[in-house]
Amino acid sequence: SEEKSLNFIEEIIENDLKSGKYETLVTRFPPEPNGYLHIGHAKAICLNFGLTQKYGGYTNLRFDDTNPVTEKTEYVNSQQEDIKWLGFEWKNELYASDYFGQLHKFAVTLIEKGLAYVDHSTAEEIALQKGTPTESGVDNVYRNRSVEENLDLFNRMKNGEFEDGACTLRAKIDMASPNMLMRDPIIYRIKHTPHHRTGNEWCIYPMYDFAHGQSDSIEGITHSICTLEYVSHRELYDWFIEKLEIFPSKQYEFARLNLTYTVMSKRKLLQLVNEKHVAGWDDPRMPTISGLRRRGYTPESIREFCERIGIAKRENLIELSLLEFCIREDLNKKANRVMAVLDPIKLVITNYPEGKDEILVGENNPEAEDKGGMREIPFSRELWIEREDFMEEPAKKWFRLAPGAMVRLKFAYIVQCDSFEKDANGEIKTIYCTYIPESKSGSDTSGINVKGTIHWVSAAHAKTATVRQYDRLFTVESPDAEEGDFKDYLNPKSMEVIENVYIEPHLAKANLSDGYQFIRKGYFCLDKDSTADHLVFNRVVSLKDSWKG
Ligand code: ATP
Ligand code: MG
Ligand code: MG
């Protein structure tokens, strides 16, 4: 097989393992349980778990749950389900909130070392004191409090003596640092809000920067991989570890995944859900893992997508069509072919006996190694065919049905169109044909050659279904980058619902996760809204490859 060049993180890891810096690689995937995971998270999951699959060691799942306001157990559960579904197993299930006691001790240690102080300034005052990147900040009156006073005040913060916002604990670093994050960052704030796991035990909570690196360190994470926004946080990450004299985890940054025609921040996805622009986090138009799953994406296709886009050091924008390419490739191998008529007109075979039917057999998947086995397809005198497969006045090179023309019915016989009938609105309603009994697929002795083959479903045997066809959720490539609100760019036609679609009867036994190719129409899968007598299918992706890679 083709030798793949290493990405920059693999290079670092290979060097660290070779030099003996670490014996065991330990990575983590650290979601905040404040929403459902999306395709960008899938990228980080594949990266972190993929590295320990390749180099040994293990990956932890750590919920970065330090902000009680936005976090919920529902999200913890969905995030776990999505990671498992993608095909990964974590070594330890951990919660930053389990470290609240230890993190509090770390804060006390900093105070004792004269490296943290309680500050009563308001957020606005702190912002002013910090200055601007080109102009150094100023120390305030709280900065030089004694250790004893700070210990006492921090203890009173913890004991709930102050209101939200009355004071904060800040690291005492450098108000003149060129890195604004090093200008005495807040490390603890007061929030009288119950936490999804610790309840009312705490009313002070650590800031992300004071929790993340220390959590990595507590767990012995060797390579803490995050996205580029955290480059400027690295100095602070290292500072805490150095001053606390704890295990030296190292942070490395890669470019986050950005995808065309969608948004990816959980905050924005939550707005789409709350304002009912979509039917929920798992709406098949959402870029969430649960949405993609419901849409009919497979774990393999998502992993393949993450593999193909690789690991970059600079921001970029990936085409949605690449994701579609990946599922199309996967379903081409896996999906059984079936017949479904989305816009039906009736075809009557006048020389086929009334009341008779026969069972034909069809290959499930010509692309599969075992052809996917065979299935039975009922055939009878009256069929549904696709409206677009008939032309009253055929164009040049029209090989489908037209008055006097012949066509093969897939898996069945050759028919010739003798006449047709319109309804009161002038729309084609019924087509009358004769069939050639000797032309049966697999045993054709008719000697007739036809160029066109069309799909059909026996009217007496067909099941009825609803089909939902999806388009991009937004009309512009980068809704985030446009002027005004990102929701102004929602695509009003992102879902087309087609009722009264006729499908082969055995599709009544379809399973939620099975992808099907509706011959000539696209890839589809059963939606969870289906009931025994009302089937609903999602179009996963069209048949045509529009990706120009
Ligand atoms: P969001 O606002 O989209 O929820 P986040 O970074 O705040 O993003 P977290 O739950 O903190 O969400 O993310 C968990 C992990 O997934 C982090 O390590 C983060 O860097 C990574 N991640 C999040 N979004 C992306 C993305 N678009 N591409 C790659 N990795 C991502
Ligand atoms: Mg985050
Ligand atoms: Mg976030």
Residue 77 belongs to domain with CATH number: 3.40.50.620
**Residue that is written with structure tokens 């002013």 in the block:** 128
Residues 6+ apart with CB under 8 A from 379: 357, 358, 359, 360, 412, 458
User: Is residue 257 a known part of a binding site?
Assistant: yes
User: Is residue 64 a known part of a binding site?
Assistant: yes
218 alpha carbon – ligand 2 mean position (Å): 19
Instruction: Let me know: does 231 contact 252? Beta carbons within 8 Å.
Output: no
3 within some domain: no
67 alpha carbon – ligand 2 mean position (Å): 11
* pLDDT score recorded for residue 513: 83
Tens of pLDDT, residues 203-224: 999 999 999 999 999 999 999 9
Mean pLDDT to the nearest integer, 278-299: 98
493 within some domain: yes
3-state secondary structure 317-345: CECHHHHHHHHHHHHHHHCEEECEECCEE
- Structure-token pair, residue 318: 């990936």
293 and 374 in a single domain? The answer is no
For residue 465, is pLDDT > 50?
A: yes
* pLDDT score recorded for residue 548: 41
State whether the beta carbon of 70 lies less than 6 angstroms from ligand 1: no
**End-of-domain residue from the set 200, 220, 254:** 254
330 and 374 in a single domain? The answer is no
* pLDDT score recorded for residue 3: 65
546 within some domain: no
State whether the beta carbon of 32 lies less than 6 angstroms from ligand 1: yes
Torsion of CA 36, 40, 41, 42, to 10 degrees: 110
For residue 511, is pLDDT > 60?
A: yes
488 within some domain: yes
pTM above 0.90, yes or no: yes
Q: Residue 546 — very low, low, confident or very high, per pLDDT cuts 50/70/90? A: low
Tens of pLDDT, residues 353-403: 999 999 999 999 998 888 889 999 999 999 999 999 999 999 999 999 999
Cα 526 to its chain centre, rounded Å, is: 18
**End-of-domain residue from the set 203, 226, 254:** 254
Q: Which residues of 195-231 are buried (b: 16+ CB within 10 A; e: fewer)?
A: bbbbeeebbbbbbebbbbbbbbbbbebbbbbbeeebe
Using CA atoms, how far apart are residues 420 and 430, in angstroms rounded to an integer? 6
Tens of pLDDT, residues 107-124: 999 999 999 999 999 999
Q: Residue 2 — very low, low, confident or very high, per pLDDT cuts 50/70/90? A: low
For residue 535, is pLDDT > 70?
A: yes
Which is it for strands 336-338 and 515-518: parallel, antiparallel or unpaired? parallel
User: Of all protein residues, whose CA lies closest to atom 13 belonging to ligand 1?
Assistant: 31
In this structure, what CATH number is given to the domain that contains residue 311?
A: 1.10.1160.10
Give the ipTM: 0.97
In this structure, what CATH number is given to the domain that contains residue 444?
A: 2.40.240.10
The total of structural domains in the chain comes to 3
Catalytically active residues are: 32, 256, 266
Closest residue by Cα to residue 317 from 475, 477, 489, 474? 477
547 within some domain: no
| Least trusted range by pLDDT, from 405-409, 502-506, 531-535 | 531-535
User: Is residue 32 a known part of a binding site?
Assistant: yes
239 alpha carbon – ligand 2 mean position (Å): 20
| Least trusted range by pLDDT, from 1-15, 132-146, 319-333 | 1-15
Q: In which element (H, E) is residue 467 found?
A: strand 463-470
For ligand 1, pick from 34, 41, 49 the residue to mutate: most ligand atoms within 8 Å of CB: 41
Closest residue by Cα to residue 160 from 107, 202, 215, 110? 202
222 within some domain: yes
* pLDDT score recorded for residue 371: 83
For residue 100, is pLDDT > 50?
A: yes
User: Of all protein residues, whose CA lies closest to atom 9 belonging to ligand 1?
Assistant: 31
State whether the beta carbon of 265 lies less than 6 angstroms from ligand 1: yes
State whether the beta carbon of 227 lies less than 6 angstroms from ligand 1: yes
105 and 74 in a single domain? The answer is yes
State whether the beta carbon of 226 lies less than 6 angstroms from ligand 1: yes
Q: Residue 544 — very low, low, confident or very high, per pLDDT cuts 50/70/90? A: confident
User: Of all protein residues, whose CA lies closest to atom 26 belonging to ligand 1?
Assistant: 40
Instruction: Let me know: does 25 contact 57? Beta carbons within 8 Å.
Output: yes
Instruction: Let me know: does 387 contact 344? Beta carbons within 8 Å.
Output: yes
**Helix, strand or coil, per DSSP, at residue 254:** strand
387 and 473 in a single domain? The answer is no
At 136, phi and psi to the nearest 5?
A: -75, 155
482 and 444 in a single domain? The answer is no
Q: In which element (H, E) is residue 211 found?
A: helix 208-218
Q: Which residues pair with 3 in a beta bridge?
A: none
Q: Which ligand is nearest to the CA of 230?
A: 1
* pLDDT score recorded for residue 547: 44
List of E strands, 336-381: 336-338, 340-341, 344-349, 357-363, 374-380
| Least trusted range by pLDDT, from 2-6, 198-202, 374-378, 442-446 | 2-6
Instruction: Let me know: does 308 contact 326? Beta carbons within 8 Å.
Output: yes
Write down the mean pLDDT value for the chain.
96
**Helix, strand or coil, per DSSP, at residue 360:** strand
3-state secondary structure 136-184: CCCCCCCCCCCHHHHHHHHHHHHCCCCCCCCCEEEECCCCCCCCHHHCC
For residue 483, is pLDDT > 70?
A: yes
For residue 1, is pLDDT > 60?
A: no
At 533, phi and psi to the nearest 5?
A: -110, 10
**End-of-domain residue from the set 406, 433, 454:** 454
State whether the beta carbon of 212 lies less than 6 angstroms from ligand 1: no
State whether the beta carbon of 62 lies less than 6 angstroms from ligand 1: no
134 and 213 in a single domain? The answer is yes
**What is the percentage of the chain residues whose pLDDT exceeds 90?**
95
Residues 6+ apart with CB under 8 A from 239: 171, 173, 182
Q: Which residues pair with 386 in a beta bridge?
A: 344
332 and 348 in a single domain? The answer is no
208 alpha carbon – ligand 2 mean position (Å): 8
User: Is residue 4 a known part of a binding site?
Assistant: no
* pLDDT score recorded for residue 532: 85
For residue 4, is pLDDT > 80?
A: no
Mean pLDDT to the nearest integer, 427-446: 97
Q: Of all atoms in ligand 1, which is nearest to the CA of residue 258? A: 27
Show the domain range for 400: 343-454
105 and 221 in a single domain? The answer is yes
259 within some domain: no
279 and 378 in a single domain? The answer is no
214 alpha carbon – ligand 3 mean position (Å): 18
Give the dihedral sign, CA 391/428/458/538: positive
**DSSP code, position 233:** G
175 and 324 in a single domain? The answer is no
User: Of all protein residues, whose CA lies closest to atom 23 belonging to ligand 1?
Assistant: 41
32 alpha carbon – ligand 2 mean position (Å): 6
Strand order in the sheet with 168-171: 116-119, 168-171, 186-190, 204-206
23 and 67 in a single domain? The answer is yes
412 and 445 in a single domain? The answer is yes
Instruction: Let me know: does 457 contact 379? Beta carbons within 8 Å.
Output: no
Q: Which residues of 399-417 are buried (b: 16+ CB within 10 A; e: fewer)?
A: ebbbeebbbbbbbbbbbbb
Q: Which ligand is nearest to the CA of 309?
A: 1
50 within some domain: yes
